[in-house]
Chains A and B, each alone.
Chain A
Amino acid sequence: MSILIKGATLPGGTTTDVLVQDGTIAELGAISAKADQTIDADGLRLLPGLVDLHTHLREPGREDAETVLTGSRAAAVGGYTAVLAMANTNPVTDTGEAAERVHDLGRAAGLVDVQPVGAVTKGLAGQELAEIGLMARSRARVRVFSDDGRCVHDPRVMRRALEYVKAFGGVVSQHSQDPSLAGPSACCHEGELSGRLGLPGWPGVAEEVIVARDVMLARHTGSRVHVAHVSTAGSVEVVRWAKAQGIDVTAEVTPHHLLLTTDLLSGYDPTYKVNPPLRPDEDVQALREALADGTIDAVATDHAPHARHDKEHAFVDAAFGMLGLETALPVVTTVMVESGLLDWAGVARTMSTRPAEIAGLEGHGRPIAVGEPANLTLVDPAAQVVVDRAASVSLSRNNPWHDRKLTGRVIATLLRGTPTVLEGAIA
């Protein structure tokens, strides 16, 4: 099977034909050879396939909200070739068998590589380490561990986790939220709006103290820590400082924290309820700058599908989370590329190369070069799209981008040379 991509512009700006053969990039340049299939890429950008460090797939346990298959579809449509599936399913991914099950479901779906994230602690309870080593040694080869949804709050447990994952080059991805500073029902950025609306506040400092603590623990243990969904300017400062000290810390930001602000909560619409919460504009600006200058390494979606009825509660009782996989690239294009903060090489770096490196994913996030695996995403950088939540291939509809006009559209996605998406739809 061969595919010829005609006239694509690479992240660096050169325009070339790309011949994909048997899952690998076989040739670059002006190619006249015939292929089984030809894609006209005039005016389009070819990126290494996107990698999401932070996806919630809901299987097992909540297959009414999303399954590995439907989540894989959403990922492929969004231009992803690999996603890391968070461990907070039911049951939790905290054993080797559980990790292999998720991995195998991903294989069966066959649209993206689904790489399970292992829980740090048994049942996400924050007390005892989960079977981290068995997950690492399993067929799933787990390298990223996270209790996401919850913070590994006990500093001793966090320390041991950081030490333990060193044995196999793993990383702990922390959901930074001091549960005492952000109380049990915290659901709105603590500030003027939360005070006025009477919503339980989730202060930025509850994130910042954990980020600060964890980078010190990473320094002490000589281990690697990853800060999930950074949301405040203060956290950015801490990460910037830690990197300058040579501490092995990486960080991700979500598309929604790059664009949406806390004032969207003024009508108590649970669509905008997310954890960490949407922050004010000052934080949003700091996050954009930090992504541009490399302080924040990666864009990660925190794709969190929910059944409709789980959002149709009073705001404080509604589920946290919003969809993200299908819209991440258009949001980044709109926020970062159109504003000139990031070029396409920057997009490739933050949405593919760095996430793949952080997750230790081989075969993803590779340069577009001869001999590399053909995990590729073709993007129309100028397309204007009005998001329609009904058009989503996810099982859920908690889409904060509904009716918004965004720039950038994924045209095609190739997983090891096989199109998973063509003309913007599942192939």
Chain B
Amino acid sequence: MNRHLLSIDDVSADDIQEIFTTAAEMHDVQRRQVKKLPALRGRTVINLFFEDSTRTRSSFEIAGKWLSADVINLSAKGSSASKGESLRDTVLTVTAMGIDGLVVRHSASGAAEQISRWIDVPVINAGDGTHEHPTQALLDGYTLTRRLGSLEGRHVAIVGDLTHSRVFRSNVKSLTKLGATVTAVAPPTLMPAGVGDWSKTAGFATAYDLDEVLPQADAVMMLRVQRERMSGGFFPTAREYTVGYGLTRERLAVLEPGTPILHPGPMNRGLEISADAADALDSVVLDQVSAGVAVRMSVLYHLLAGEETSA
């Protein structure tokens, strides 16, 4: 396993399986009354969030604490540029306090990778702009594996705002590494630039018509549509989006029973996902949340447990 988790590129298919195996053990711990494991006792992990995300931050915080690490949350939102400080300065200041791992969230693509070049502790990317969100992809893959068994030959449809989705970019890599077939579905305006070339080398399919894809899907991953995208001219109206790409009640009926429905949250009920789909028996949205803690415990364990504690 690489020293950092910046992208799904940093983990092989074997690494992912190992992360899942450990995550399953961690998952069992969650059901215990005493949830603490001593694995990271004496280690300090900083959650450095340049962009708000209560959900991801809490998930990392709980994961660290259940492994007995000291977890410190730092919100650096707007602090660096507005004070004239460079990102490098901000990060060096934080790490100079003596830490063992850095979980970083940033609104800019590539920020985690850049940061990893400036410091010498493991960096975990908790979402960088529209680039990647590797732990989200791992928890999605873990959730799907628990539901479907092996993903080898399974067909996953990823639907929605692909252009702006780091969840998509990480998942398309991890799911194909796990042997799944992926079809990315979106209107042309929400397809990433150059997706034609990219999909060929990365081995996934693209489609504009959700209704053609759904009957063949073994799992459906709905992506959040950012409300502000609607004024960006990516699609005419919310209504039109829902008709074309929403997981409506009618589309829900097309799915084979037992087809897991994923959503990274927070959901826009009534836009990309209907209430029926969100609350359906096959919706695994809450499983994703609980798997998130287990998978992040596993990632922290694999990246930090072997590391020497800094003085």
Knowing A313-B81, A314-B106, A314-B111 touch, does A196 contact B87 (C-beta < 8 A)? no
Segment 26-83 of B: residues with Cβ below 8 Å from A: 80-81
A34, CB-defined interface residue at 8 Å: no
Report Cα–Cα, A316/B108, bound state, in Å.
Answer: 6
Knowing A309-B89, A312-B88, A313-B87 touch, does A196 contact B192 (C-beta < 8 A)? yes
Contact partner of B129 (CB less than 8 A), chosen from A192, A203, A316, is A316
A198, CB-defined interface residue at 8 Å: yes
B110, CB-defined interface residue at 8 Å: yes
Stretch at the interface among B11-19, B194-202, B253-261: B194-202
Segment 175-220 of A: residues with Cβ below 8 Å from B: 190-199, 201, 203
Contact partner of A191 (CB less than 8 A), chosen from B113, B169, B194, is B194
Contact partner of A317 (CB less than 8 A), chosen from B87, B131, B196, is B87
Q: Contact: A196 with B198, CB < 8 Å? A: yes
* SS of A interface (majority): helix
Query: What is the minimal beta-carbon distance from A44 to any residue of chain B, in angstroms?
Result: 41
Nearest chain-B residue to A195 (Cβ)? B192
Segment 90-126 of B: residues with Cβ below 8 Å from A: 106-111, 113-114
Q: Contact: A267 with B113, CB < 8 Å? A: yes
B193, CB-defined interface residue at 8 Å: yes
Nearest chain-B residue to A199 (Cβ)? B109
Knowing A312-B89, A313-B86, A316-B129 touch, does A192 contact B109 (C-beta < 8 A)? no
Q: Contact: A198 with B166, CB < 8 Å? A: yes
Q: Contact: A194 with B193, CB < 8 Å? A: yes
Contact partner of A312 (CB less than 8 A), chosen from B86, B107, B132, B166, is B86
Interface centre among B85, B111, B194 (most CB of A within 10 A): B194
A164, CB-defined interface residue at 8 Å: no
B22, CB-defined interface residue at 8 Å: no
Nearest chain-A residue to B92 (Cβ)? A312
Return chain B residues, CB-CB under 8 Å to A191: 193-194, 197
Return chain A residues, CB-CB under 8 Å to B88: 309, 312-313
Contact partner of B109 (CB less than 8 A), chosen from A312, A313, A316, is A316
Nearest chain-B residue to A307 (Cβ)? B86
A145, CB-defined interface residue at 8 Å: no
Report Cα–Cα, A265/B6, bound state, in Å.
Answer: 16
Nearest chain-B residue to A189 (Cβ)? B193
Q: Contact: B86 with A268, CB < 8 Å? A: no
Report Cα–Cα, A198/B88, bound state, in Å.
Answer: 21
Query: What is the minimal beta-carbon distance from B214 to any residue of chain A, in angstroms?
Result: 24
A315, CB-defined interface residue at 8 Å: yes
Return chain A residues, CB-CB under 8 Å to B130: 198-199
Nearest chain-A residue to B200 (Cβ)? A192
Report Cα–Cα, A330/B85, bound state, in Å.
Answer: 35
Report Cα–Cα, A196/B132, bound state, in Å.
Answer: 9
Contact partner of A197 (CB less than 8 A), chosen from B85, B89, B106, B131, is B131
Report Cα–Cα, A197/B89, bound state, in Å.
Answer: 24
Query: What is the minimal beta-carbon distance from A3 to any residue of chain B, in angstroms?
Result: 46
Report Cα–Cα, A199/B132, bound state, in Å.
Answer: 11
Return chain B residues, CB-CB under 8 Å to A199: 109-110, 129-131
Return chain B residues, CB-CB under 8 Å to A270: 114
Q: Contact: B87 with A198, CB < 8 Å? A: no
Return chain A residues, CB-CB under 8 Å to B80: 313
Contact with B along A266-286 (1 / 0, CB 8 A): 011110000000000000000
Segment 129-186 of B: residues with Cβ below 8 Å from A: 129-132, 163, 166, 169
Return chain A residues, CB-CB under 8 Å to B114: 268-270, 314-315
Contact partner of B195 (CB less than 8 A), chosen from A195, A197, A308, A316, is A195
Report Cα–Cα, A314/B132, bound state, in Å.
Answer: 15
Report Cα–Cα, A196/B81, bound state, in Å.
Answer: 26
Query: What is the minimal beta-carbon distance from B4 to any residue of chain A, in angstroms?
Result: 13
Interface centre among B106, B129, B196 (most CB of A within 10 A): B129
Nearest chain-B residue to A313 (Cβ)? B87
Nearest chain-B residue to A267 (Cβ)? B113
Q: Contact: B87 with A312, CB < 8 Å? A: yes
Nearest chain-A residue to B113 (Cβ)? A268
Return chain B residues, CB-CB under 8 Å to A192: 193-198
Return chain B residues, CB-CB under 8 Å to A196: 169, 192, 194, 198
Nearest chain-B residue to A190 (Cβ)? B193
Nearest chain-B residue to A311 (Cβ)? B86
Return chain B residues, CB-CB under 8 Å to A312: 86-89
Query: What is the minimal beta-carbon distance from A417 to any residue of chain B, in angstroms?
Result: 45
Report Cα–Cα, A268/B117, bound state, in Å.
Answer: 11
Q: Contact: B194 with A193, CB < 8 Å? A: yes
Nearest chain-A residue to B131 (Cβ)? A198
Return chain A residues, CB-CB under 8 Å to B195: 192, 195
Interface centre among B80, B87, B106, B109 (most CB of A within 10 A): B109
Closest 4 CB pairs of A and B: A268-B110, A192-B194, A195-B192, A314-B108
Measured CB to CB, the residues of B under 8 A from A are 80-81, 85-89, 106-111, 113-114, 128-132, 163, 166, 169, 192-198
In addition to A199-B130, A315-B111, 7 A-B residue pairs with Cβ atoms within 8 Å of each other are A192-B196, A195-B198, A198-B110, A199-B110, A268-B114, A312-B87, A313-B86
A-B contact pairs, 12 of them (CB 8 A): A192-B193, A196-B192, A196-B198, A197-B109, A199-B129, A199-B130, A269-B114, A310-B86, A313-B88, A314-B106, A314-B111, A316-B129
